[in-house]
Structure 1
């Protein structure tokens, strides 16, 4: 045979180089196989138990490339979104069920500010006569809780509005004339703003004129004490009649009696503000 053109030493060197290259390729293949197995194990751990993907992993050794297994962060966001949607769906029902028991009712009338003193509300359900002392005690308690200084800055405006409404309610209900006008206004009768509301009673008008002259001709306050006592009796009788009429729901009779009570109330103010020589104007 024809001898090789390469010397024997050189052939041995070439074979050693080939063996080295082969060993490197084997190591690379082993490394690649190890990485593949490790990646497969990590993906297997990410499969959610009980899901359809778990069945795919059990029955198939190779998963299709289009199946995406959610990571832990993706599953967390998905669960959070599901919980948020369920909460939003349940929230309206919770509000409807809790409004009646948890949300405080906003008073619609002056009477509703004082549930302890006036639990029955305005006439005809409740009495027209009021215990003013008990009303004042409840009023002071309400004002103590509604004082703007007791509320944070963002609630002060609301507290001031509530305090103003409480003041108005107490002022109206503690005064017999204002209370009667307010009760009629709740029933659609605007007696306070009706300047044409008069009582066509000649005797009443004559009595009012005589009372005005007596007040103007008085020399001192002592001269008006008898007139003051008579007028207070008229006011008390008028308030009693108003209570009976409103209890019977006699709104027309109550309207006429409110006009009479307005005369007696004006006489009381004229006596309280008496000054010698000061003219007296009795508004109906």
Structure 2
């Protein structure tokens, strides 16, 4: 396609080196184009790049979030202790059998999804609210059940897992309100994303459009697999900056995949929506 070489030529026309004005201008323009053509689902939380919370602060934050999902015990009464309730310090401590060593780099980024689901079902069976008649115990079980559900949904998905690790353990929130500026996509991936958009504009209304869109879906699936593998390696080595960059790329490929799945014959564009 002529689109990619044309952009690459623009990059080469500037001063060599990573700080060239032409490259910065291209990145800014491409980011504006992506932001104009995409709709982001943003979260209201914001975190700094360099803030690295202590474990005690993380535990406090985690417990606060948990407390917000359950009813408080009446004054003068302690929280009930439910048999089999997990340690809710963080999502990894909840699944102590599957993830006994905790988060990366102490344990691999990759998780056995079958083991995780098995432990999830066991935990839900132990703390299911229907097992409790007492109002205080039932409310406490409902909070625990919601917490376990949230942890499972997060850890089972590589993107959600990566975003959780960066945000909760390292203070890097790639889903924050200012993420488009603070965590901008690298120029090379921006070009690839824009190339996909350009292809859809060219073939979307043609008789062969559906076959070409299917080919784009397979290509994007391969990108996602490669991105997850790279992300796992960075987390396992403790390379947080590289993990941050790869997580941003994965967010875009997830978005492209969602847009391609929603595509219908005759459409000449896709909506790119970041997963929160």
Give the drift of 1:278.
Answer: 6.9
CA contact (8 A) 1:215 1:274 kept: no
Structure 2 gap segments, 5+ residues each: 1-82
Runs of 4+ in 1 over 6 A off after TM superposition: 102-105
Superposed counterparts of 1:4-43, under 5 Å: none
Q: Report the equivalent of 2:272.
A: 282
| 2:171 maps to 1:188 | yes
Q: Report the equivalent of 1:162.
A: 144
Cα offsets for 1:51-87 (capped at 9, x unmatched): xxxxxxxxxxxxxxxxxxxxxxxxxxxxxxxxxxxxx
Q: Secondary structure at the match of 1:129?
A: coil
CA contact (8 A) 2:230 2:246 kept: yes
Work out the CA distance in 2 between the residues paired with 1:153 and 1:134: 32
Q: Report the equivalent of 1:59.
A: none
Q: Report the equivalent of 2:223.
A: 234
Work out the CA distance in 2 between the residues paired with 1:136 and 1:239: 20
Work out the CA distance in 2 between the residues paired with 1:255 and 1:149: 41
| 2:238 maps to 1:253 | no
Structure 1 gap segments, 5+ residues each: 1-101
Cα offsets for 1:153-185 (capped at 9, x unmatched): 321111111111011101111111111011111
Give the drift of 1:200.
Answer: 3.0
Work out the CA distance in 2 between the residues paired with 1:229 and 1:143: 36
Provide the TM-score with structure 2 as the length reference: 0.60
Give the drift of 1:258.
Answer: 0.7
Q: Secondary structure at the match of 1:209?
A: helix
CA contact (8 A) 1:114 1:138 kept: yes
| 2:137 maps to 1:148 | no
Work out the CA distance in 2 between the residues paired with 1:281 and 1:273: 8
Q: Are residues 160 and 195 of structure 1, via their aligned partners in 2, closer, same or farther at CA, if it must alter by over 3 Å?
A: farther
Provide the TM-score with structure 1 as the length reference: 0.59
Give the drift of 1:109.
Answer: 0.8
Give the drift of 1:211.
Answer: 1.2
Task: Identify which of 169, 180, 204 aligns with 2:189.
Answer: 204
In terms of Rg, which structure is larger?
A: 1
Work out the CA distance in 2 between the residues paired with 1:133 and 1:164: 20
CA contact (8 A) 1:228 1:271 kept: yes
Task: Identify which of 90, 94, 113 aligns with 1:109.
Answer: 90
User: RMSD over aligned Cα, in angstroms?
Assistant: 2.2
Work out the CA distance in 2 between the residues paired with 1:170 and 1:177: 13
Identify, as 1 or 2, the structure richer in helix: 1
